Structure 1
Amino acid sequence: MKSKSFILRASAMVAAGATMALMGCAGPGHSIDPDAQKRAASTQSSPPAPEDFPAVESAKWKEGAFPSLEALRAMRTGMGKDQVRQLLSWPHFSEGLGGVRTWNYIFHFRTGSGPEYITCQYMVRFNDDVLTSGMYWNKRECAQRMDPPAAKPTPVAATTSPQRKVTLGADGLFRFDGGSPADLLPQGRGKLEALVSEIKRDGRSLDSVVVTGHTDRLGTGSYNQALSMARASTVRDVLVQNGIDASLIRVMGKGEAEPRVQCEQKKREDLIACLAPNRRVEIEVFEGR
């Protein structure tokens, strides 16, 4: 007959094993390879169909959460699961133990000063490198919540005027589908530095600079909104690094909302080429007379 202490030890071992199995991916993740990040950005997963989102009543944490908009806007392709958890916490559905490639969330957004809110579902997909390859909302109105609040028009004094508006093609600034400082091409940085030099040569007082990012229509609305904002923010950072006062710069991301051209090519490479004018960063410089 086995002793009581032996049985207790065996039970503890089983419990520990079960805990480790349930933790699954909860342990610290491995470092992220830059090449794997590029693969994740260049091979975005296909958008889910409405029926791909799980029923809310099947969630493990049915209450959902009121997320931080800044955390959601910080989501990008090429992120590891630890990084997603840091921003969004754990998914609200039981996704399984191993080899999980999809996380689903229930997020609420206030609609006014009272307790009323709308409920949205958010899906994060991971590729074979276990890096984010796409982020999706179940409703367009939910994706629109990621749009930054409309900026109040900046009064322009009578002594100032928009001295110039420079439009730079995003394909000449960033690698395709990229918007971070690491994605900025050497020739793109050179164009921005040349613009700063030109501004300084004028000898006029600088009143304000407005940097606006735009994307083409490929990808989801929320993804394009985040990408356009990331590109505008990166351009702002380069301007600041080259001597422009950060307090004078305002950044905006308009996603795919203001296209310059409409294209219907069937081949993806032809469509990407045709849509190039829509992928751009506009820089408006206001100077004193």
Structure 2
Amino acid sequence: MKHTKKMQVFALALLALGMGGCGNVSRNVANDGHAAGELVWPAPEATTPMHKGGTFPNSADLRQVHAGLNKQQLSALIGYPHFSEGVWGVREWNYLFNFRKADTSEVTVCQYKVLFDENKLARSFYWKPESCAALLEHTSPVAAAPTVPAQQKRVLSADAAFAFDKGSVADISPVGRDELDKLASQLRDGDARIHIAGYTDRLGAIAHNQSLSQQRADAVRDYLASRGVSANRMTSEGRGEAFPVKECPNGSRAQLIACLAPNRRVEITVRE
């Protein structure tokens, strides 16, 4: 009987956690979760007591966050939100993350925001400051594993490398081919591992963006292979609209397309 009462109390505590909080911090989160009328960030010192000072996330898990995850899947990767907006009934989760640079004691504190659509699926992701997005590649949360030096990561503008809304090898522009030819000449020798990740902006259907990002990553891989880089050393991944590096307010379509250009990219990471 006592055991049953304890379980009931525990269940009520979990319910209070899930339903509690003050709701969304940002204003007018869009039904599709791709934007908000105004992004508002909680004060870093306003974390819940158990998350005081933020956490050191697992970078490998954080890289797996992408659009379409439900809240249970997201929490399995990076935990529940660090602030008191609530858990189940809200359309926004906020985190306070610490990143430690490899071989140093220097720590960078970043805020991370996830917006959900009306079905409570993760749809858009934001960093404050925006430069924190790059820390996933250049820092280690616990300095336990080697990180990739900045000079070994190349970012190609998808707009410059491909025709609009195209993603095959045949669609790679002359500018894109020149860039990849230069890169191939540096990567032919040696045994470095090469990971190619494609990204889109938040415009368009999620399934289409995911497919296009994968197609472009595969095209870059295949082009490098045609220039003598061993295919066995390369992997490719489409990340759709995940991990935007630029936040843009809603406006005319032309303005929004121009503003979101940095998010349309292909990242090539070389690991020695």
Matches of 2:110 and 2:83 in 1, distance apart?
14
How many residues were matched structurally?
A: 205
The counterpart of 1:67, out of the listed 54, 57, 63, is 57
Bigger CA radius of gyration: 1
Matches of 2:260 and 2:83 in 1, distance apart?
38
CA shift in 2, pair 1:47/1:233, >3 Å: farther
Contact 1:215–1:280, Cα closer than 8 Å, also in 2: yes
For residue 247 of structure 1, what is the amino acid of its counterpart?
Answer: N
SS class of match (1:44): coil
For residue 231 of structure 2, what is the amino acid of its counterpart?
Answer: A
Q: Does 1:135 align with 2:125?
A: yes
**When the two structures are superposed, what TM-score results if normalisation uses the length of structure 1?**
0.50
The correspondence of residues 30-49 of structure 1 with structure 2, limited to 5 A, is: 40=32, 44-46=34-36, 49=39
**When the two structures are superposed, what TM-score results if normalisation uses the length of structure 2?**
0.53
Q: RMSD over aligned Cα, in angstroms?
A: 5.2
For residue 126 of structure 2, what is the amino acid of its counterpart?
Answer: Y
The counterpart of 1:267, out of the listed 233, 252, 261, is 252
Cα deviation code 1:14-69 (max 9, x no counterpart): 525414524649xxxxxxxxxxxxx95xx5123854x5324424433104211233
Cα deviation code 1:167-223 (max 9, x no counterpart): 4335123xxxxxxxxxxxxxx49979xxxxxxxxxxxxx94899685767x79xxxx
Q: Does 1:172 align with 2:166?
A: yes
Q: Which residue of 2 aligns with 1:118?
A: 108
Contact 2:93–2:115, Cα closer than 8 Å, also in 1: yes
Q: Does 1:101 align with 2:95?
A: no
SS class of match (2:150): coil
Structure 2 unaligned segments of length 5 or more: list them. 20-30, 139-148, 154-159, 173-186, 204-209, 246-250
CA shift in 2, pair 1:87/1:46, >3 Å: same
Contact 1:121–1:137, Cα closer than 8 Å, also in 2: yes
Contact 2:188–2:230, Cα closer than 8 Å, also in 1: no
For residue 150 of structure 1, what is the amino acid of its counterpart?
Answer: A
Structure 1 unaligned segments of length 5 or more: list them. 26-38, 154-165, 174-187, 193-205, 220-225, 258-265, 284-289
CA shift in 2, pair 1:48/1:267, >3 Å: closer
How many percent identity over aligned positions?
30
Q: Does 1:150 align with 2:150?
A: yes
